[in-house]
Amino acid sequence: MKQIIGKVSATEKSPSTCDDFSFWLTDETILSPFDIVRVTNPIDQSDTYGVVQDILHITDSPSHISNFISSDFGDATAESMTRKLGLSYAKCSVIHNTKENYMPLPDGAMVSTTDENDIMIALGLDSIPEESAIPAGLMKASNDVIVPIKYNGDFIVGPEGAHVNVSGISGLATKTSYIMFLLKAIQYKLDNDVAMIIMNVKGDDLLHIHQSNDVITDSQKAEWEALGVPCEPFDNVRYFYPYSGRRDSLFTNSAISQEDLAEQFNDGIASTFAYTFEHDVDKISMLFSNVDDPNWTIESILNFIETNPEFKSISDWDGFKEKLKSYVNKANGKSTGSAEIPVQSWRRFSRLINNSINDPLFQNSISEKKERHQGYLSDAIMNIEGGSAFVVDIAGLNEQLQCLVFGDVIQSVYELKHGDFDDLSRKTRKQIPKRIIIFVDELNKYAPSTSGKNSPLLSNLLDITERGRSEGVILFSAEQFRSAVHERIKGNCGTNVYGRSNAIEISRPDYKFVPNVYANMMTRLKKGDLIVQHPVFKTLLKITFPFPSYNQGGSKK
């Protein structure tokens, strides 16, 4: 229920402006930052909505010494002989006026709380078409009003804007859980129009998303209902695990239990993937995506390998390693036709390559044995269908191999969207999903702010964020520290979400636009509380979101 909580206060030193105003509060009022209030302009009866940015309390006491003296010179139990005049007041930022009247609010205009309808109007949520609305979370105001907040999907998955980035410290920020909630809402709302590829980078967190969460409570289910999304696991899920060659782990390198893995294999929703020389040699540049190469020698070697006839006759990884040895040998260093590349650079390249291709993930051929469930990851992605959710497990791989797999995923998605497949595949290929969402955690690994070179993976990520929305390729990403991510990538994310962070991170330039009170609140947000920025919203919002509807596995969240 709406109630009057104060009046606008315009003073000589603190006037009302087009952008902000202050108002004093009645003694019984309880208010919080992010609350939205309404003021009716007495001139044209239009409603101005403001969001609370700061709340202060003042008295007529000239100094703290006066307060000390008035308490019998420091007696905390003593009562003051004279009651001080005091009040609380709030500073607000103007976010909307129903008649586009942004004249400063006059002194004495009454301020009231808002209901759900007011908040929808203030934020512009009433103008979002229902078919485009994507649930974002729940906004809880101080007057116990709970409002389901929705994004405009045109700014999440295109065509108006795209890409979502979530930042915050590990654990407390619940970054992965929020993006998974958002993906579930998108799968429910857009169904076959969207396919998603989810990179699992830690434990078995995301390796059971086709199963229901048995520990969720009725009150937590009610939050899903309030947002209009069924509390159900993901549909049409397939899992892809890196091949390990170890029979005792069902030939996979993964944190998932052997019982669960065997069940997924039996249900036909899981497979392993490997890389062969014939099929994947052109992808080895991805292995060096986050390797420092100030003199561009690695790129020179990769170009040499691609154009040199000696490497064209090689058919497997063993032959590739043997050929590299001849270039590493100093005695042959100048007789190879690569005199411009120092022998030391060949040695470094060979060492980095061997650290990777000695992994069982690299096979000389794809096994036809049924118990190995082996295949090419890129081939599976080239056949992804709308409504599907692919989970690619890279948690057990080292950083170089993670870059390779992630780069392979992005490259395959682009080839699919651009129609880069043979005539036979073109005839048998079903309809390509209108949009493909790629979700990756720890984005700073693949697109660091310190990157001094245009690596293949970084180049692809930049292409997604700068042009992907027009092609239906969307990036959902998360990281602990937003300041550690490449400027052009985070700058092109239309929707940004902030979880709990620390004071050092908040002091970075990325947070200069955030009001001080909000920034300070970021350092003490509760688990599950987030601050969101979306093009349609006219202010930053503090929201909560429902508990995960899927089985979160054995890893501690």
Q: Could you please report the per-residue DSSP string of 518-534?
A: HHHHHTTPPTTEEEEE-
Taking only the tens place, the pLDDT of each residue in 270-309 is 999 999 999 998 898 888 887 777 677 888 888 888 888 8
Query: Which residue type, as a one-letter code, is found at position 48?
Result: T
Range of 230-234, 253-257, 449-453 with top mean pLDDT: 230-234
Tokens in use for 415? Answer: 């080839």
Tokens in use for 306? Answer: 């691609």
pLDDT at 556: 41
Rounded to an integer, the average pLDDT of 94-106 is 94
Residue 167 main-chain phi, psi, to 5 deg: -130, 155
Share of the chain above pLDDT 70, in %: 94
Asked if residues 437 and 183 have their Cβ atoms less than 8 Å apart, the reply is yes
Rounded to an integer, the average pLDDT of 70-84 is 80
Rounded to an integer, the average pLDDT of 101-130 is 93
Rounded to an integer, the average pLDDT of 444-451 is 84
Q: Label residue 448 by pLDDT band (50, 70, 90).
A: confident
Q: Tell me which residue of 184, 194, 187, 210 sits closest to 547, measured CA to CA.
A: 184
Query: What is the chain's Cα-based Rg?
Result: 29
pLDDT of 424 over the 50 cut: no
DSSP state of 397: S
- b (16+ CB within 10 A) / e for 411-442: bbbbebbeeeeeeeeeeeeeebbebbbbbbbb
Q: Label residue 172 by pLDDT band (50, 70, 90).
A: low
Asked if residues 253 and 550 have their Cβ atoms less than 8 Å apart, the reply is no
Q: Label residue 256 by pLDDT band (50, 70, 90).
A: very high
pLDDT at 183: 97
pLDDT of 427 over the 70 cut: no
Q: Label residue 555 by pLDDT band (50, 70, 90).
A: very low
d(CA 466, CA 441): 19
Asked if residues 474 and 436 have their Cβ atoms less than 8 Å apart, the reply is yes
Please report where in the chains the tokens 């040199």 appear, as a residue. Answer: 308
Q: Label residue 40 by pLDDT band (50, 70, 90).
A: very high
Structure pTM?
0.89
Share of the chain above pLDDT 90, in %: 58
* C-alpha count within 13 angstroms, C-beta hemisphere, residue 155: 18
Of 34 and 67, the structure prediction assigns the larger pLDDT to 34
pLDDT at 420: 66
Asked if residues 464 and 475 have their Cβ atoms less than 8 Å apart, the reply is yes
pLDDT of 331 over the 50 cut: no
Residues contacting residue 13 through CB under 8 Å, at least 6 positions apart? none
d(CA 195, CA 181): 15
Residue 183 is inside which H or E element, if any? Answer: helix 175-190
pLDDT at 78: 83
Of 10 and 323, the structure prediction assigns the larger pLDDT to 10
pLDDT of 334 over the 70 cut: no
pLDDT of 69 over the 90 cut: no
pLDDT at 14: 93
Query: What is the three-class DSSP state of 160?
Result: coil
pLDDT at 422: 56
**What does the mean pLDDT of the chain come to?**
88
Q: Label residue 151 by pLDDT band (50, 70, 90).
A: very high
Residue 197 is inside which H or E element, if any? Answer: strand 194-200
Asked if residues 167 and 499 have their Cβ atoms less than 8 Å apart, the reply is yes
pLDDT of 164 over the 50 cut: yes
Asked if residues 136 and 532 have their Cβ atoms less than 8 Å apart, the reply is yes
pLDDT of 260 over the 60 cut: yes
Tokens in use for 232? Answer: 């159900």
d(CA 112, CA 110): 7
Residue 313 main-chain phi, psi, to 5 deg: -85, -5
